[in-house]
Copies of this chain bind each other. A is one copy, B any other.
């Protein structure tokens, strides 16, 4: 009987992790699609990103409900409790990632397709790709329970911050040189900020993976390589 209960509990934990991975895949797809829509001025794709944010919200709520039911029925301890709390934290971060991708899509809808700046657009999308790669990598560390991979993701965040700082500087210079491009440049500023924040959420997820596997929180901020307050 005890074995049966333990088995059911394992199944519940596995289902929870599967749901988190499902939300993770959705968040990665949202980020990829938001970059694609921005890059090609694909307004139909941008609309789909915006519509799909509701799915991410619903999945996050479902994960929360499952987690609360497990906590109430099982009174888990130690590593099992960390697994559940970690799932809650990771799903919160993933839902925020979907929000940020949605905002990139909204910025895309506000841009004039005839008036896009190829070099700065490429740089913004490159920043987005880096953030997406960080997100995919940290989800791999969650799937494979790989704390070293999670720590690598955390260390990699400073590069994204540096890319955003560089983009920010170039956008300001372009606005000064070509006032007719101020509107589009401010849209790209917000997109850059959203991608930089997606990188921050990948870092948060890395810290949750570390907490699940190691049982303690990482102290201090991850290494930073940017001026305070850019974006």
- Report the count of interface residues on A (CB-CB < 8 A): 33
CB neighbors of B among A151-209 (8 A): 172, 175-176, 179-180, 182-183, 186, 189-190, 193
Partner of A172, one of B106, B176, B186: B186
Oligomer: number of copies: 2
- Which residues of chain B are within 8 angstroms of A183 by Cβ–Cβ distance? 172
- Asked if A103 is at the interface (CB within 8 A of a chain B CB), the reply is yes
Q: Which of B176, B227, B229 is the one whose CB lies under 8 Å from A179?
A: B176
Contacts known (A75-B73, A179-B176); A64 close to B92, Cβ less than 8 A: no
Within 8 A of B (CB), among A22-43: none
Write the A100-117 contact mask toward B (1 if CB under 8 angstroms, else 0). 000100111110000000
Between A and B, 19 residue pairs with Cβ closer than 8 Å are A50-B228, A64-B85, A72-B72, A72-B75, A72-B76, A103-B229, A109-B228, A109-B229, A110-B227, A110-B228, A110-B229, A172-B182, A172-B183, A172-B186, A175-B182, A182-B182, A186-B186, A189-B189, A190-B193
